[in-house]
C-alpha cells in the first residue's frame, strides 16, 4: 500500500503463521516466498535473493540466531535486512537477536500492521528494492 514492493522471504515453521503473514504481505504487493526448515534456510536465501527476510527463532533443525550469524558472515547477502520474530518473550532473546545482527526484533503475537510497517521501514532504509 505504501508503494514499496519487494521480494520477501518468510522463514517460519508454523504453517498458520506463515499463511497469515503471506496473506498480509502479498496484499501489500510484495512477492512473498516461504521456507520452513532451519537447515536449508541459507540455500533458500541464496536461491531467492530476497530484499528482506522475516526470520523465526525456533526453527526445526537449526536456530534462527545461527542462520542469521552465518548470513551476516556470508558473501552473498551480508547486508540483507532481517526482521526477527520470536515466541520466547524474554529480554535476553532480544539481546541475542540484536547481537546476531537482526535489523528489527518482534515478539509474537504481533499486530499485522506492525509487521507491515517494520518491513516497509526497513526497505526504505536500505533503498534496496525494485
For the bound state, the minimum distance from the C-beta of residue 119 to other proteins, rounded and expressed in Å, comes to: 14
Out of 2, 74, 79, 90, point to the residue binding other proteins (CB under 8 A).
90
2 part of the interface to other proteins, by CB under 8 A: no
Find, among 51, 49, 15, 60, the residue nearest to 34 by Cα: 15
Does residue 51 contact residue 123 with C-beta atoms inside 8 Å? yes
For the bound state, the minimum distance from the C-beta of residue 93 to other proteins, rounded and expressed in Å, comes to: 8
Helix axes 91-100, 64-73, angle to 10 degrees: 20
Out of 8, 17, 122, 123, point to the residue binding other proteins (CB under 8 A).
17
Q: What cell was used for 99? A: 547481537
Please count the helices (runs of H) and the strands (runs of E) in the chain.
Answer: 5, 5
For the bound state, the minimum distance from the C-beta of residue 18 to other proteins, rounded and expressed in Å, comes to: 10
Query: Going residue by residue from 49 to 88, which x/- string records binding to other proteins, judged by CB under 8 A?
Result: ---------x-xx-------------------------xx
Amino acid at each position: 500500500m505504501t508503494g514499496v514492493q519487494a521480494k520477501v522471504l518468510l522463514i517460519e515453521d508454523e504453517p498458520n503463521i506463515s499463511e497469515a503473514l503471506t496473506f498480509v504481505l502479498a496484499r501489500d504487493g510484495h512477492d512473498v516466498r516461504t521456507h520452513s526448515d532451519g537447515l536449508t534456510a541459507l540455500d533458500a536465501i541464496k536461491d531467492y535473493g530476497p530484499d528482506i527476510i522475516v526470520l523465526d527463532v525456533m526453527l526445526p533443525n537449526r536456530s534462527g540466531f545461527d542462520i542469521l550469524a552465518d548470513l551476516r558472515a556470508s558473501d552473498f547477502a551480508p547486508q540483507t535486512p532481517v526482521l526477527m520474530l520470536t515466541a520466547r518473550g524474554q529480554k535476553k532473546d532480544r539481546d541475542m537477536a540484536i547481537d546476531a545482527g537482526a535489523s528489527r526484533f518482534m515478539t509474537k503475537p504481533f499486530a499485522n500492521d506492525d509487521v507491515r510497517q517494520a518491513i516497509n521501514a526497513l526497505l526504505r532504509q536500505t533503498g534496496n528494492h525494485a
